[in-house]
Amino acid sequence: MAEQEASGLQVLLSTLQSSCDKDVILNILSVLTDLLSFGTGRRIHYVVSKGGSEALLQALATAARTEPPDHGTLLPLLRLLARVGQRDRKFGHKVQKAEATDIILSLTRRHLGHHLHLTHCLWVLRVCASNVTTGTILGINGAMELLFKVITPYSKRHVRTVRAAIGALAALLKSKSNSRRAVHRGYLGELLRLYQDWHRNDVSNNYIYIRRGLLLCLKYITNIQLGRETFLGSRGMEILFTSVQDCLSCKNLDPIITTATHILRKCYPKENLPVVTVRSSYSFPLPGNASAEPPCEGSEGDSESEGEEEDEKDWDNEDVESKEEDCDLETDVDKLRSRPVLDRPEQELEKYEALCAELFQNFQELEFESEEKKSLEDRTESLPSAPSHFIPSATSVKHPNCRWRNQSVTEMGPDPGEQDFKVPLQSWRKKEECIWDKNDENRDIAEKSQDKDFCEEEGPARSHVFALCSLLKDAAWYKKVFYPHCEASINPSPEGRLESSDLVRNLLEKHQGDIPFHSPCFYAARAKCVKSIPGYRELAFPDFWGHQPPPHSKPLLERKHGLQRDKVLDDVRRLIQPGDVIGRTVFDLDDPSLSSPAAPGCLTFFSKFESGNLRKAIQVREFEYDLIMNADVNSSQHHQWFYFEVRDMKSAVPYRFNIINCEKLNSQFNYGMQLVMYSVREALQGRPRWTRAGQEICYYKNHYRCRSAAAGGGGVRRRFYYTLTFSIKFPHKDDVCYLAYHYPYTYSTMMSHLDILEQNRNPKKVYWRQQTLCQTLGGNPCPLLTITAMPESKNRDDLEQFCSRPYVFLTARVHPGESNASWVMKGTLEFLVSSDPIAELLRKCFIFKIVPMLNPDGVINGNLRCSLSGDDLNRQWLTPSSQLHPTIYHAKGLLYYLSSIGRAPLVFCDYHGHSQKKNVFLYGCSIKETLWQAGCMVDTAVVTEDVGYRTLPKILDKVAPAFVMNSCSFLVEKSRASTARVVVWKEMGVLRSYTMESTYCSCSHGLYRGLQLGTQELEEMGSKFCLGLLILHLKSLPCSKELMAQAALLLDLEEEITDRAQRRCSNSSVESDDEPPCAEEIDYDTASSSDGEEEFLELDQEIQECLSCVEGETEDEGVTTGQTCSSRALRGLYISSQPAPSSTALPLGSSALGLCRGFESSPV
């Protein structure tokens, strides 16, 4: 049947090309009109695939040679060409091949005096010009000059013809050469005058399409630098800005406002970032001959290129964007299956034996437990299951890393919490090596020596004080608000920051101690030993005081209509109405003298604390500030993470903040995500928590540019910056607040958390061993944890079961800005050491090797993605350097060692955060899925693969509310060949090697659909990952009957709880897009036209409007009798093309052909 239909259509098209009979041609055109007049664009594509475009062009060439022209044939033919041509991607090439450009131009010139016929010619001219090459040829042959004869100032006559001419001109101006020609001939100024005239006179807004068409012409002509310069010189910014202000009150004028806003944003004069250099304010000398990223200074002016925009490489970790081309997939089966050679001498692996002491431990020391350990066991044995926690008192802080100079373990004296937070300024060591001894005694001695050196003073003159930077300079404020009856003397330091031990003591007394697994004393002690490039002297209050999750999750922020354009217009107002712009720098890392004292009525900013990132703050207006983030150390890029303090605010006043040097192409901030805020006053009143905050949040491309060295050597690559803008009403006057991209989780937070977990565990049940994997480049220890269950007894069978447990290897925070990964890891760790029955069972099944923070230096110094070397550590796993990438080098070495002794992990998982996707999901590795996705033939006899890599994500999809299996991917990309996931899969042969991505924003379905994920949900994901591992073990590995029975009982209970929670969510089964469309178009690519399908519909609508109103129109007054007869025939042809209401079949029968044949003489 389909073949018969195809042959019938081909007969029609062949007859159309060869026949000279007018009636036959009319009948064929009628049939084609009926065929294409309703339904979807697929019908047109089908006609195109059968040679429809070529047939119509041939028929046009034949009809054009007829003298006089037969408009009864010509007009329906032109109309069909317009409809078919706009959906034929090769139409321009076919027009050139048929030599039809001259024919179309000739017909257009011939019909300048007849607007109905001219309109049809202009439709075809517009479709032809949509092809850049054909449009350039038309421009050379005078098409633009011809169109400007048709486009007139405001008039109510011939408006459809004017509209068609403007549409054709806009299509011509997509060609850069046509745009240059138009500028040289003064057409840009003429377009501005025409737009002003139509805007001024169209008071009833009847001609929106004409006004918008003129703006589209300006949009395309300003895609070239010459066009932008001429636009600015012609006062285009002022003209468009003024006209937009007149349109804002009418929602029907949104198409005009949106297009004008895009032009204004694009033509805004490009500027350098207002910083001394785009390189980071922090630098770090690298060991040996290694050099950091080369400088990227240079002029930031636009180059004379074919367009303003370039493709940008978005360095999101492990993301497989839907737009990523399949050519990135690795299709070489040999490479996918090969096992690379060892990247180091095999004898070097022996030193990693010290990091696997659990395999060689005899547990004889269990008989000689100290009284201290016994008392600790008695204290912790009665603790309930997680989320139980043990909060030590201030006097219980006893950790070797927190010792002071000349103090031994027994001579520590007063507690660190009572030492006025004084700590020596740490000395920097260029290189430190971790000493791994093979017995515990030597290891402890080494650690003590190392820790003593780690916090050693350089001299009395170098000692300084760790102050709480969130407390105000004026001590009287603190006394008045929080301790009105306190008479203690509080003296500020010369630098204005409080140093009083009375103040700290009062704060600690006020701390309720009800934040699980957090102690301010532990945190302060750990923070003193941190080595940072700026030499941090102050603690951020949220990290010191702690965070308690809010009782309820916050829904996604609803985006206000027209928000993006309003923000862009505010930016344009700065340029053309600069009278109220202050432009005062109030904070600058590069010039500290500008940071204080603050001007009256001005906010005070600060970011020199652990994980802080704010480089510069500029007061734009009284309540508006431009903020600039600091690049990663030894780098000039990677701007996303921010974390800073702000104070001296007024309450209930909306402050606008513009972070102007973001780099991502898009952001979840455009889809309902909010930043987080922490209020000191709220915390001291009993609500210590980070909360989602900010209104009128928008993310868009701005006018700041940067040039950097192009990858691969030659030339430069321009980088485009984006603005994240948001407004905040602070809850209290003169409060101290912290703003951050996401919930911060610092290195000191992690280290103090590990201290508390170690004390909180039950030593009789939990085997816990904390070692130092290595020293980082900056001299900070990178901890390695080993967690499993203690053996049931010392008999041989129990010890063999202990040693034979499979390994699970977990890592996190290789990218410092992905703090959500640390919150997930926190949930994993707390669950693993808890007394939860499932956790106890899990510990009996696995030995966990965990590196909770692979990039401590990056986290400490506020980086987004890199380490101190300026390298992305998750791109160094193939050939890591022991000097530049020590944490990766030794983590890979440990994995190599486990693999060499036959103990490769059952599961490897690297915890990450994803800035542009929703949900929590896994990336894995599969040869077959990669080849299938790339369209390669897969010989299943040659390529065999265990599908067990899908088991864990399927389990997590059932047990974890935030996890979505549909978001997972198991493709191996060439660009990801050096990531942990791919390297561990290929080199160590770990089938279940994953990256786990957690969203910063929300979930697309399930229990958390429409809710922004908080720390509680992230921690839950960490614990559910553990549950998934237990189920995986039961499904994949042999287990004892006792273990299976115990697990079955526990998992049945867990499943019942999960099912009950899932039933409470009525929409849990509803799937939705990972990235729903934004409420407002985000047009970043200014060289692009409007959406193609929208243009098709617009032209179709224009054609039908013209046909339905062809009689009695003002534009057709004065036509001859013969023309009227032709118009009536055209009207009849249009009516005949409409399907009957009850008809479902195409009118291809003889009755339709006969009806069309009699139209010319029938009354309308």
CA of residue 191 relative to chain centroid, distance: 38
**Strand-pair partners of 772:** 783
Q: Which bin fits 421, alpha (ψ -120 to 50), beta or left (φ > 0)?
A: left
By C-alpha distance, which of 653, 1054, 1009, 1135 is closest to 831?
1054
Q: Which of 818, 987, 997, 1019 is catalytic?
A: 997
Residue 122: count other Cβ atoms within 10 Å of its Cβ.
Answer: 29
Distances (CA, A) of 582 to 618, 619, 620, 760, 944: 9, 6, 5, 54, 67
By C-alpha distance, which of 100, 103, 84 is closest to 33?
84
> What would the two tokens of residue 297 be?
């200074």
Phi then psi for residue 966, to 5 deg, are -65, -20
Angle at which helices 101-110 and 143-150 cross, to 10°: 30
**Strand-pair partners of 784:** 771
**Strand-pair partners of 1044:** none
* Buried-state track 808-831, b at ≥16 Cβ within 10 A, e below 16: bbbbbbbbbbbbbbbbbbbbbbbb
Q: Are strands 907-914 and 992-999 parallel, antiparallel or unpaired?
A: parallel
State the Cα–Cα distance between residues 573 and 252, nearest whole angstrom: 23
By C-alpha distance, which of 264, 283, 337 is closest to 570?
264
> What would the two tokens of residue 446 be?
């080494």
State the Cα–Cα distance between residues 793 and 776, nearest whole angstrom: 38
**Strand-pair partners of 655:** 728
Residue 719: count other Cβ atoms within 10 Å of its Cβ.
Answer: 21
Cα dihedral 862, 865, 869, 874 sign: positive
Q: Are strands 643-647 and 604-606 parallel, antiparallel or unpaired?
A: antiparallel
State the Cα–Cα distance between residues 1093 and 44, nearest whole angstrom: 13
Phi then psi for residue 922, to 5 deg, are -115, 145
Within 13 Å of residue 255, how many CA atoms lie on the same side as its CB?
A: 16
> What would the two tokens of residue 248 be?
């804002």
Q: How many helices (H) and strands (E) in the chain?
A: 40, 22
By C-alpha distance, which of 435, 533, 528 is closest to 867?
533
Torsion of Cα atoms, 72 then 74 then 78 then 79, to 10°: 10
Active-site residue flag, 997: yes
Distances (CA, A) of 924 to 474, 972, 982, 991: 54, 8, 8, 9
Residue 156: count other Cβ atoms within 10 Å of its Cβ.
Answer: 10
State the Cα–Cα distance between residues 237 and 247, nearest whole angstrom: 16
Q: Are strands 654-662 and 624-628 parallel, antiparallel or unpaired?
A: parallel
Task: Please write down the long-range contacts of 684-688, taking CB distance under 8 Å and 24 or more positions apart.
Answer: 684/482, 684/507, 684/510, 686/512, 687/548, 688/515, 688/542, 688/545, 688/546, 688/547, 688/548
**Strand-pair partners of 699:** 724
State the Cα–Cα distance between residues 169 and 214, nearest whole angstrom: 9
479, with CB counted inside 10 A (0-12, 13-18, 19+), is middle
State the Cα–Cα distance between residues 87 and 1094, nearest whole angstrom: 12
H or E, element range at 912: strand 907-914
CA of residue 80 relative to chain centroid, distance: 43
Instruction: Point out the residues that are catalytic.
Output: 997
